[in-house]
Structure 1
Amino acid sequence: MTSLINISLITYFTLVSVIGTLGNGVILLAYGNRWNSSKSTSVIFILILACVDLWTCLIVVPAIAIMEYRDFDVPTAICRFYSFSKNLIIISSFIMSFIALDRFLNIAVPHYRLLNPRRVKIHIDIPRMNPLMPIFQQIVVQELFERILFIWAIRHPASGYVQGINDLVTPFFVVFLSEFIENDVEIENFDISSLPEANRKIIEADSYWATSHLLEGIQDNYTFAQPGIQYKVRTLEELVKRIDEPLYRHLKNQHIEFLQFAFRWMNNLLMRELPVRCTIRLWDTYLSEQNGFSQFHLYICASFLIRFSKDLLREKDFQGILLLLQNLPTHSWTSNDISILTAEAYQLKVMFANAPRHLTS
């Protein structure tokens, strides 16, 4: 019986030694060829692991088998070699533990931010931002936006981060980036990682400051229950009722609530309804107007809705109206269209801004 057990164990040790030696030899060959092109910590980790495992399978396992099942005297040199091998395995285990810890820190720590609830929402929203513009899909840009939004959120606990604030950084980022690139370069496809780090930090800092300045005037849009947006949507409804009653009645007859489409207009400041270049032109006017983002934007939204009055009146059902309102044909708009829009909005402001009782039912 003892002899049978010994044969089984020797067979097991032999298989481990042969298979382990061949497998680790293949791994060393494959990753050795990759060494010149990729000297990352993951490649180093695998190479060291393969070397230690090859040593174990090729030398240590056979040595253990011989030493455990010998029935002959072994020279002192071999005993010393056997002891050295065992100690080497222990030392290698410590080395591999430190390498494994390094790999954990490199993999896990960059994603530690996902454990923060504020950062989770930001991290989820940013990849959805302007999906048609390749520049906003770059990791460097997304990390830049994430830092801006996270710092703003922790410095403004009354509101924190609310979905949609990420869009408000975009126009400022594009404007500040254009300072560092040639006029004939398309920003949409520009590789921001090609800029010096110092320039990227300037863009990030300026974008943060500008976004913070904007949000100071409309922070009640993003506090609990978003009262600022609720009030502006109700005011927009009254304004449309005064200036285009047929459109207002048509929307009401089809059970369209202003909150269903105008909430996004207030939350994103029309960012998702207009091309980025048009948004920059519009925001230039907002910055020139007193309370442009908090008050003049309301008249812009009214003018914007009235602009499509005829198209909306042609739609005869709830679904058709709502689909049009959520996908208004503005993709080909230029700065001229924004000039007309702002002129019409200014007329509404002159008529109603100093007579707020006209907008109360």
Structure 2
Amino acid sequence: MRQTREVLNVIEKDLNRLPPDHHFCYHRWICNSGKQQSTRVKSGEVGADGNNNMSTVNGASNLSNDQTERSREERSELLSQILFVYAKEHPALGYRQGMHEILSYIFLAIETDLLEHGVKAENVSLAGLNDVGEDKESDETKEEDVRILDAAKIMHDAFILFECVMSSLAPAYDAQIIQSAEQRDYQSESPMEVMSRSIVSKIRHVAGDEELYRHITNMNVPPQLYCTRWVRLMFSREVVGQDNVMKLWDLFFDLTTTSSQSQVKGAASASSTLLMNVLESTAASMILLIR
């Protein structure tokens, strides 16, 4: 019980540090759900109880400070539950600082889709298009949207997506010492040290910048001190604005799906996942840009 409480306390502290704009879309989504008489998020479940309808709210801009704080706390509670379950399901890694930001952006992407879907449905209804006269294809499309964008399953969807991302991103959070056959020429290293060595190696072998490579390796500053945050947070703090973060992440995920295993091996990456290879290459590019 004590260990559980400690994990929850760390998660809570990290969630309280999230930028205020991470919660704004949730406010708008709740407001929009209220106007459509959708069920309210409560105790980690969305739409589980039809009697918990949220009263109508006239847009996010009219939220009082109390309402804003309640929405922030409500969203943080949902994220906390997901992070805690993940830590319990993956005890070898557990919860590490930075995971809360990865999850928050994933949650934000789902919230944005739900909000846009709700606004679109409301506009269609107001336009009088949602009647018997609609064609069958339109009805089938709406049914597909409902199945994919189910507000009652937002926590389930967020957990699965987060777990999927972390399955590739875990090496950036794992500080345990490892030793494998591939690393027999090196002393025991943590995954973060392996990651940093791979990033610096790309500067030499991919970019061909021998001078910069020697400068970095001769410094007394380990590369993981400045590369770890970049990779752990998938560069979300290196760009301005949520839209730009989403676009950057879309590019990362697109590159992981279009890159073949042979291309990854050809890049001499020390990582074992496509996503890590893409992030390591991006980190090497960042160093070259600020050279």
TM-score calculated relative to the size of structure 1: 0.45
In structure 1, give the amino acid aligned to 2:201.
E
What per-residue deviation string (whole Å, max 9, x for no partner) do you get for residues 36-74 of structure 1?
Answer: xxxxxxxxxxxxxxxxxxxxxxxxxxxxxxxxxxxxxxx
Aligned to 1:258: 223
User: 1:131/1:254 Cα in 2 relative to 1: closer, same or farther (>3 Å)?
Assistant: farther
Decide whether the 8 Å contact of 2:23 with 2:75 is kept in 1: no
Aligned to 1:284: 253
Aligned to 1:149: 83
CA RMSD between the two structures: 3.2
Decide whether the 8 Å contact of 2:83 with 2:95 is kept in 1: yes
In structure 1, give the amino acid aligned to 2:247.
C
In structure 2, give the amino acid aligned to 1:281.
D
What per-residue deviation string (whole Å, max 9, x for no partner) do you get for residues 53-111 of structure 1?
Answer: xxxxxxxxxxxxxxxxxxxxxxxxxxxxxxxxxxxxxxxxxxxxxxxxxxxxxxxxxxx
Decide whether the 8 Å contact of 2:172 with 2:228 is kept in 1: no
State yes or no: 1:302 paired with 2:271: no
User: 1:146/1:287 Cα in 2 relative to 1: closer, same or farther (>3 Å)?
Assistant: farther
Decide whether the 8 Å contact of 2:196 with 2:223 is kept in 1: yes
Aligned to 1:230: 193
Aligned to 1:123: 12
Decide whether the 8 Å contact of 1:286 with 1:297 is kept in 2: no
In structure 2, give the amino acid aligned to 1:305.
I
Distance in 2 (CA, whole Å) between partners of 1:306 and 1:228 is 23
User: 1:173/1:161 Cα in 2 relative to 1: closer, same or farther (>3 Å)?
Assistant: same
Distance in 1 (CA, whole Å) between partners of 2:104 and 2:4 is 26
State yes or no: 1:272 paired with 2:237: yes
Distance in 1 (CA, whole Å) between partners of 2:255 and 2:191 is 17
Q: Offset at 1:297? A: 1.9
SS in 2 for 1:236: helix
SS in 1 for 2:114: coil
Aligned to 1:335: none
In structure 2, give the amino acid aligned to 1:237.
V
State the identity as a percent: 22
Distance in 2 (CA, whole Å) between partners of 1:214 and 1:270 is 14
SS in 1 for 2:7: helix
Decide whether the 8 Å contact of 1:176 with 1:203 is kept in 2: yes
Decide whether the 8 Å contact of 2:256 with 2:278 is kept in 1: no
Write 1 or 2 for the structure with the bigger share of helix. 1
Aligned to 2:110: 176
In structure 2, give the amino acid aligned to 1:170.
S
Unaligned runs of 5+ residues in structure 2 are 27-68, 120-148, 178-189, 261-272
SS in 2 for 1:217: helix
SS in 1 for 2:92: coil
What per-residue deviation string (whole Å, max 9, x for no partner) do you get for residues 143-186 of structure 1?
Answer: 1111110110011111110111112113322221222223898x
In structure 2, give the amino acid aligned to 1:162.
R
Aligned to 1:317: none
TM-score calculated relative to the size of structure 2: 0.54
Unaligned runs of 5+ residues in structure 1 are 1-111, 186-197, 310-361
In structure 2, give the amino acid aligned to 1:271.
S
SS in 2 for 1:129: coil
In structure 2, give the amino acid aligned to 1:235.
S
User: 1:261/1:287 Cα in 2 relative to 1: closer, same or farther (>3 Å)?
Assistant: same
Aligned to 2:134: none
User: 1:127/1:200 Cα in 2 relative to 1: closer, same or farther (>3 Å)?
Assistant: farther
In structure 1, give the amino acid aligned to 2:12.
H
In structure 1, give the amino acid aligned to 2:7.
R
Counterparts in 2 of 1:305-320, with a 5 A limit?
Answer: 305-309=287-291
Decide whether the 8 Å contact of 1:285 with 1:292 is kept in 2: no
Q: Offset at 1:210? A: 0.5
**Which structure's CA Rg is the greater one?**
1
Decide whether the 8 Å contact of 1:113 with 1:119 is kept in 2: no
User: 1:273/1:150 Cα in 2 relative to 1: closer, same or farther (>3 Å)?
Assistant: same
Comparing both chains, which one has the higher relative contact order based on Cα–Cα distances under 8 Å and sequence gaps of 6 or more? 2
SS in 1 for 2:284: helix
